Structures are given as C-alpha cells and as structure tokens.
Amino acid sequence: MPLVGPWGAVVVEAVLRDDGSLQPVPERTAEEAAECARRAGLRARAKVRRYSRANGLSRLWSLTFAPENLPSTRAGVMVEGAAFIKRLRAHLGRPIPYVLVPERGTKNTKRWHLHLALGLYIPKGEVERLWGLGFVDARLFEGGADPRSSASKVAHYVSKYVEKTFEDVPTSTGRQGGEHRYEVGQGYQPECVEVEDQGDELEALATAVALVGEGMPTWCWSSESIESWPGPPLRVLRW
C-alpha cells in the first residue's frame, strides 16, 4: 500500500489492520516469485501479441551493441533503446507504434541486444545511422496477399521474447525496481469491442470470426472445463 508524506509516496509491502496499524507482508519465497513472474510473462505476452497484430507490425529489427557500447544491465539496455526511439520519432517527424524488447544472448559472451517490431519500411542505412551503437539487421515476414499474416508472425516472435524477459527473477520479490521488461509506443493500444445480443454460441463465434477477419481460431478455451465455474459461461478464442 502507498504511504504519502512530505517526501512523496512510498510503496511498502504491508496490509492495514483493523486498529490502524500496519502488518508487514512476508517476503515471497523464490518459488512464489518465479510463479508470479511466469504468470506476468503470460499476461505480457498476450498483451504484446494483440498490440503487434492490431498495429500491423510486420518488420522485426535486431539492434546489437558494439563491445565498447555494451551496457552491463537490462536497465542500461532499455535506456539506450528509449533514446533510439526518440531519435527515430524525430527523424520520422511523428510518433509510431512499436514494440521494443531486450534479450540476452545464450552463447559465448551472452551480450545484450534489442528486438524492435515496426509496421513501416525504413531503409537499413537510416536505422543503422540512428542506432549508432552497433550493427542492425532487419527481417520481413512474408504474409502473401494478406499483410495481417506477416504481422501475426512478428507478433508471435516478439511476444515470445517478451515472455522470456520474465524468466529471470533476480530476487525473491521479483524484478528490481526501475527495470522495464519491454516498451511499446503509447496511444496505439487495441480497442475492446463489445458485442451484445448474439443469441446462441454459434452466432457469437461467427461474429467473433467476422470481427477478427482471420478465419477460424487456432485455440479455444471454455469455462465448462472448470468444475464449479463461479461466473457466467466464458469462451476464450485465440488466432
């Protein structure tokens, strides 16, 4: 809960007793912290996947660091990434949707690098000049006649990178303060569409398929699979 005083707001792990005193919350075990990180990773992956597909992010860039420019921490990597996005926006003259995710290599030096998903074409030379800290590489995912197909492929890859950032839990209380797992362009979150009075379940499914426009879903979940489901019937569809 937040405590507010002349110094500002401070967040502490505690609950308020009936008598007005604070009862500290026991520190989470390593297992509990890992489970919280796993669940947070799944939520973040789903959120980034929806964002990427809704904004048509069909190009995936890799931004690497030259040895002399390599930050030693994730926080340092994200600082450099945010500075690059600022330069890119200034170069384009407008804000853009994007997803920026750090990843640490698994071989040899295990050096940090960044993955950047964009939805517009930018010449490689311009990106390399604006980055200025090492090499860059671009990958365009072909989607045939439907550009949403390539965006779906990028969404799959970039959301997977996002989930991986939650696998390393530095302390039993989760991530260290100030560390961003990923970053997205603000103001481009997909909108929630509410549809009422669909009649039976088949009509509701047909409406959902028409709204998404990508054929039948690849994954379905029903609340009927949970014994004694406490709420109204629920169906989750994924494309």
User: Per-residue pLDDT tens for 168-183?
Assistant: 655 444 444 446 788 9
Topology adopted by domain 30-184: Alpha-Beta Plaits (3.30.70)
Whether this model's pTM surpasses 0.75: no
User: Per-residue pLDDT tens for 51-90?
Assistant: 888 898 989 999 999 999 999 888 999 999 999 999 999 9
**Coil vs helix vs strand at 140:** strand
Cβ-based neighbour number of residue 20 at 10 Å:
6
According to CATH, where is 3.30.70.1910 located in the chain? 30-184
